[in-house]
Amino acid sequence: MNPALGLLSLLYGAGFRARNTAYDSGMVKAKHLQAPVISVGNLSVGGSGKTPFVILLGQLLKDRGIRFNILSRGYGRATRGVAIVDPNGSSRQFGDEPLLMTRHLQVPVIVGEDRYEAGLAAEQKFGPQWHILDDGFQHRRLARDFDIVLLTAKDLQDHLLPAGRLREPLSSLQRADAVVRMSEMTFQAPPGKEVWDVRRGIRVQHISPRPVAFCGIARPQIFFEQLRAAGIHPAAEASYRDHHAYSERDIEKLIDLRRTSDGSGYVTTEKDEINLGAHRAKLEPLSVIPVQMELVNAPNAVDTLLRVVESRKRPA
């Protein structure tokens, strides 16, 4: 590890520990909404599968007849303040992941830098529905009734920012109610914590034989590896920063890449399709690959979540 980055990581760690201590000791009070809040978060910066898991969890709650909305920061949007996501809107207005969630689940998604204010707006507009707090583990201003933290294999060997990608150390899992891990991972959770296993993959269909694969996600190599594992061998690959908003110049380069690599089309992720916006029509044929996530023993996991939420119900 670079010594300078190591020192900055120590300073960063001291800062978040002081903040967490303030909340844990009650010196700083988290704010409560009227309805239960289920937080889905992680320890690292991007790439843990939070959005597919929120969609999965949302479908499981819908199957139980629970009405809910989603509170999200709306990362990458050009707007500010609290807003209700229009499914027909753009990533510039609302962020790519909020659009993806509302289109999949067809439930209200409310974006706002302050998720407590977003929750108040949601309850005023839709009544006391449950709330799924997207990327909420570090957003301690809003109290939650159940904390779910997604863990990746890379988190187990990583360092705190800026030397690594961790926003918090593994010891912070003490705050979680359930730790979600990939089913092939070996990990011993803190005593008393639920461990939920998930399987993650992609659904491949109707893809050109030699497509140009491109994406702007946190860990693009995972997407390219999944394609190859599914028998798709891209003619060329292009990666961009997470939440990348595609420009006219990007499209020209992708078209040129297809020509020089003798590619037969394009393949990308659902999130990237949203960020293409009006440029999408210029990349044909384009195959969009959805990420699929399955929760092992989902009925038991949901039963546990409901039981814990009920036990923490606050007086009206």
| 109/98 Cα distance (integer angstroms) | 6
Residue 183 has pLDDT above 90, yes or no: no
State residue 233's pLDDT score: 93
Residue 217 has pLDDT above 70, yes or no: yes
| Mean pLDDT, the chain, whole residue set | 94
Do 149 and 171 contact (CB within 8 A), yes or no? no
* Side chain identity, residue 316: A
Q: Which of 5-14, 41-50, 53-62, 214-223 has the highest mean pLDDT?
A: 53-62
The number of domains in the chain is 2
Residue written as token pair 């507009």? 125
Domain co-membership, 306 together with 177? yes
Domain co-membership, 303 together with 277? no
Domain co-membership, 300 together with 259? no
State residue 179's pLDDT score: 96
Residue 184 has pLDDT above 80, yes or no: no
Q: What is the CATH number of the domain that holds 91?
A: 3.40.50.300
State residue 316's pLDDT score: 61
Residue 256 has a CB neighbour count (10 Å cut-off) of: 10
Per-residue confidence at 186, pLDDT binned at 50, 70, 90? confident
Domain co-membership, 69 together with 183? yes
Residue 163 has pLDDT above 80, yes or no: yes
Residue 170 has pLDDT above 90, yes or no: yes
Cβ-in-10-Å burial (0-12, 13-18, 19+) of 5 comes to: middle
| 44/299 Cα distance (integer angstroms) | 28
Domain co-membership, 278 together with 302? no
Name the token pair of 138: 């570090």
37-57 tens-digit pLDDT? 999 999 999 778 999 999 999
State residue 41's pLDDT score: 97
The residue with greater pLDDT, 98 or 219, is: 98
Domain co-membership, 124 together with 155? yes
State residue 1's pLDDT score: 66
54-104 tens-digit pLDDT? 999 999 999 999 999 999 999 989 999 999 999 999 999 999 999 999 999
The mean pLDDT value for 175-190 works out to 88
State residue 276's pLDDT score: 97
Asked if residue 316 belongs to a domain, the reply is: no
Which residue stretches of 194-269 are H helix?
A: 220-229, 248-261
The mean pLDDT value for 26-33 works out to 95
Which bin fits 135, alpha (ψ -120 to 50), beta or left (φ > 0)? left
* Entry pTM: 0.94
Question: What 3-state class would DSSP assign to 198?
Answer: strand
Q: What is the share, in percent, of the chain residues with pLDDT greater than 70?
A: 99
Helix (H) or strand (E) holding 238: strand 236-239
224-263 tens-digit pLDDT? 999 999 999 999 999 999 999 999 999 999 999 999 999 9
Residue 304 has pLDDT above 90, yes or no: yes
Q: Which string of DSSP letters, residue by residue, matches 106-172?
A: -S-EEE-SSHHHHHHHHHHHH-S-EEEEET-TT-TTB--SEEEEEE-GGGGG--BTTTSSBSS-GGG
| 83/270 Cα distance (integer angstroms) | 22
Per-residue confidence at 177, pLDDT binned at 50, 70, 90? very high
Residue-range definition of the domain harbouring residue 153? 3-198+294-311
Domain co-membership, 191 together with 303? yes
Do 73 and 109 contact (CB within 8 A), yes or no? no
Name the token pair of 216: 């702007």
* Side chain identity, residue 279: H
Question: In angstroms, what CA-CA distances link 125 with 82, 93, 98, 104, 110?
Answer: 12, 20, 18, 21, 10
Residue 65 has a CB neighbour count (10 Å cut-off) of: 6
The residue with greater pLDDT, 67 or 3, is: 67
Side-chain-side CA neighbours of residue 216 (13 Å): 18
Would you give the end-to-end CA distance of the chain in angstroms? 51
The mean pLDDT value for 274-295 works out to 95
Q: What is the CATH number of the domain that holds 217?
A: 3.40.50
Domain co-membership, 250 together with 149? no
